[in-house]
Structure 1
Amino acid sequence: MNEHVVVAGGGIGGLACALALARAGVSVDVLEQSSAFGEVGAGLQLGPNAVRVLHAWGLTDELQACAAFPEVLRVRDAHGGQRLGQLRLGAMALARYAQPYATLHRADLHGLLLRAVQQESVVRLRLNTRLAAYEQTPDAVRVTTENDTVLVGQALIGSDGLWSRVRAQMLGAQPVRASGHLAYRGLVHRDDLPAAQRDNVVTAWLGPRLHVVHYPVRGGKWFNVVAVVHGVLGQGHGGSLGNDPQSWSHEAQAADLKRALGPACAELMAMIDAVKGWKLWALNDRAPMTRPAEHVQGGVALLGDAAHPLRPYLAQGAAMALEDAWTLGRLRAAEPAAPVDWPALLARYAQTRWQRNARVQRRSQRNGTIFHASGLLRWGRNTAMALLGEGLLDIPWLYEGPSDPLSL
């Protein structure tokens, strides 16, 4: 074992990257700035493309143990309550894509990846360690941490999120882009919901300048609820509790959310009322990728949100990080055991990934406009869903992925 890679960030993307590379025979140092490994946030959705990656890593049983597998996605009007469209999931997703559609708690996905990584003897997990800077040499990358530790690897993978330090050094200081949207998130136990709200389904409520999504997690015992509204932290949302855009931990008031939702239908309000506590965070992103150099430069690569942060309107943030990691592992596993040209391998990774990631970024942004539409656009959206049915909600080009880099 003479190949070594440093991974900055111990979230979902960083652990997935470490697992993929370790399985391909590479030793890895994972740098995590926190004092313990964990994941903030609440639920997430994994389309068949993401589940396919976990299956390839032999994690199907672990996913089955903690996820829910909804039968259908229902789209409804937030104000009137009427059904606008639906997409069959469950057995239909399995038949179409050979993998199911899953919903789970972020911490559960992070936990199953962490347990898998801990079984790999070639991975070293370093807590309380944050990258300060890096320096590229002709055949290595030298990484310095905030506690003055120096690590040398053949490559550095920046999986350190939206506010990535690796990205800042690689591409220069680039402020994130504020979406003008805020997300309220909460969890509610299934037994605390009205009977009509306990179905094993994903429900998306669309309204002018807002939408709400809820779905089962933790094997269906809990439901994740996310309400996205237009607004700014500290201006009617969050009050004096702080406006740090990097925080996922703002306490939120149900009254603020209800005011933003306006005249929502009774069934939606019953779901909102069942949530006992809310957290609030501002949604930020970056413009879609435009070239492979935004993914990789030399022996340094970006993965997940560090490269292509997504708005949550396509439910693909975690999935794209998993796909990135799988692609890296697949490329390395295909190389001979002899010393690898890491800049060349990473360049191939960038060529494989950047266009798909950019497409998902654009589609996510467009979905936000469609979800929150009013006037003629809202009428056109509702009419299209009624006429086109599942064909409008299904996304074969996305769910059939990821593309095998060895066949491109």
Structure 2
Amino acid sequence: MRKQVLIAGGGIAGMAAALGASHAGWDARLFERSPQFSEVGAGVQLGPNVVRRLQAWGLQKALQQVVALPQQLVARSGINGKVLASAPLGQSMVERYGAAYVTIHRADLHGVLHQAAQQRADIFINPGQEVSELLGAERVTTIRTSANKVVEGDALMLADGVWSKLRGPLLGDSSRPRVSGHLAYRALLPMADVPVGWRSNEVTVWLGPRMHAVHYPVRRGEMMNIVVIIEGPAPQDMEHWDHAANAQALEQALRHCSSNLQDLVRSVPAAGGQWRLWPLSDRAPLQGPEGMARGLVGLIGDAAHPMRPYLAQGAGMAIEDAAELQRALAMDDLEVELRLRRYAINRWERNARVQARSIRNGNIFHATGPVRWGRDLTMRMLGSQLMDLPWLYRGDGSSASSL
């Protein structure tokens, strides 16, 4: 008899978990509280470590239809706009790591995963039903949904994000995600509305005191994703992350920055666009495999290891989790609890490293005074070497055909 995994959450992590379980020969029953499956947010960067795993699920053609393929990563001073360093992407990444570095709208990535899940007969999607309670997890996992349905499975994966309501009771941890003190302003702009000088096929990062900005193409290069992260107090209501942001407040925060960056930021409201505000929260890096699996219950993505966006790997680590989950669930000679234990053992250290490096990168990006001067000098001397991350992009060494 085929085994069945229950999945709480229908975002990128949940869809990826369902695909991983399906490819392992399991049935997957996914529950999402929203009546319609959709992803909010803006752009996502996917390194070759992530693209290889999507290709292994047969998603290369679907990705090609929606991604942009930036050719270069450029770092600039947020103060004067001068180039600090650059590194090649494009074909160079394919040659070194077996897959491309791509940028994609978050909704498009979710759509690719959702469509792939819908095409598999062993994935059962239940919109409008939240997993509200874990009733038991001894010989089987038993859940209750918001529709008051009781469902049994051989395992349960929590993919319900940084504000997971099920994580605390499972791990015996009542702590809330910690507030980072950083605020992310996000906007999407048609490329035709971007100032002419910044219409490019590059990932550009601006580094300034207590702030940084990044922009890159999405949707085949038809739109630009722009994110500005500044340090400041978060709004009171942390759980509802998508807030209407005041463009004037952002412009005021950037008043000492490069005039070119200010022009780019002002182009958003000038084109009728809006800035949305996301107060960033995370948790401390994982301390052991128990943070990713307990008995018959596993955690995946932000439910297990929410991280700051300074390594551009939040969605990527969720997809890597799902690929490892696939390998673990396919170990038919092991009891299910041991399969989830193997999944957690094989993932927690890498996730913890990415969490820690993301925090470190944020400190470097936002450096002030002599530390900022040293950073800029080092980047001018060693920039391309510093921007290449073999430990991250090689992953487990697997490879697939390139985009």
For 1:66, what is the secondary structure of its paired residue? coil
**Residue 52 of structure 1: CA displacement?**
0.8
Q: Which amino acid is 2:157 matched to?
A: I
Instruction: Tell me which residue corresponds to 1:307.
Output: 304
Give the CA deviation at 1:85: 0.9
Name 1:191's counterpart in structure 2. Answer: 192
What's the CA shift for 1:369? 0.4
SS in 2 for 1:185: strand
Q: Does 1:23 align with 2:23?
A: yes
CA distance in structure 2 between the partners assigned to 1:350 and 1:124 by the alignment: 25
2:51 maps to what in 1?
Answer: 51
User: Counterpart of 1:356 in 2: which secondary structure?
Assistant: helix
Would the aligned equivalents of 1:166 and 1:302 in 2 still touch at CA under 8 Å?
no
State whether residues 293 and 340 of structure 2, in contact with CA within 8 Å, keep that contact through their aligned partners in structure 1.
yes
Residues 1:225 and 2:219 aligned together = no
Deviations 1:268-310 (A, max 9, x none): 1221112121100100000000011111110001000000001
Residue 134 of structure 1 aligns to a residue whose secondary structure is strand
Aligned-partner Cα distance in 2 for 1:375–1:24: 52
**Is 1:259 the equivalent of 2:252?**
yes
CA distance in 2, matches of 1:150, 1:133: 10
Of residues 374, 381, 392, the one that matches 1:387 is: 381
Match of 1:248 in 2: 241
Aligned mate of 2:322, from 315, 322, 325 = 325
- Partner SS, residue 10 of structure 1: coil
Q: How does 1:283-294 map to 2 (within 5 A)?
A: 283-294=280-291
Q: Does residue 121 in structure 1 map to residue 115 in structure 2? A: no
Please list, as runs of the form range in 1=range in 2, the aligned pairs for 1:56-205 lying within 5 A after superposition.
56-171=56-171, 172-205=173-206
Between the two proteins, the alignment pairs up a number of residues equal to 393
Deviations 1:93-143 (A, max 9, x none): 111101110001000000000000001111111111112221334321111
Task: Tell me if 1:370 matches 2:370.
Answer: no
CA contact (8 A) 2:142 2:153 kept: yes
- Report the secondary structure of 2:166's partner residue: helix
Contact 2:254 2:262 in 1 (8 A): no
Deviates more, 1:134-143 or 1:265-274: 134-143
CA gap 1:199/1:130 in 2 versus in 1, 3 angstroms? same
Taking only aligned residues, the RMSD between alpha carbons, in angstroms, comes to: 1.2
Distance apart, 1:266 and its partner CA: 2.1
Residue 237 (structure 1) aligns with: none
Change (3 A) 1:137 1:203: closer
Q: Residue type matched to 2:209 in 1?
A: P
Identity rate of aligned residues, in percent? 46
State yes or no: 1:398 paired with 2:392.
yes
Q: Provide closer, same or farther for how the CA distance between residues 334 and 137 of structure 1 changes in structure 2, counting only shifts above 3 A.
A: closer
Q: Secondary structure at the match of 1:226?
A: strand
Structure 1 stretches of 4+ with a deviation exceeding 2 A read: 135-138, 331-336
1:359 pairs with one of 333, 353, 357: 353
The CA distance in 1 between the partners of 2:361 and 2:5, in whole Å, is 36
1:398 maps to amino acid: L
**Would the aligned equivalents of 1:288 and 1:308 in 2 still touch at CA under 8 Å?**
yes
Deviation at 1:3, TM superposition (A): 0.7
Structure 1 portions without partners, runs of 5+: 235-242
Which amino acid is the alignment partner of residue 70 of structure 1? P
TM-score, normalisation: structure 2: 0.95
Do residues 212 (structure 1) and 213 (structure 2) align?
yes
Q: Deviations over 1:310-345 (max 9, x none)?
A: 100000000000000011112223436xxx511000
Give the secondary structure class of the aligned counterpart of 1:401.
coil
Distance in 1 between residues matched to 2:137 and 2:215, nearest whole Å: 48
CA distance in 1, matches of 2:77, 2:103: 22
| TM value normalised by structure 1 | 0.94
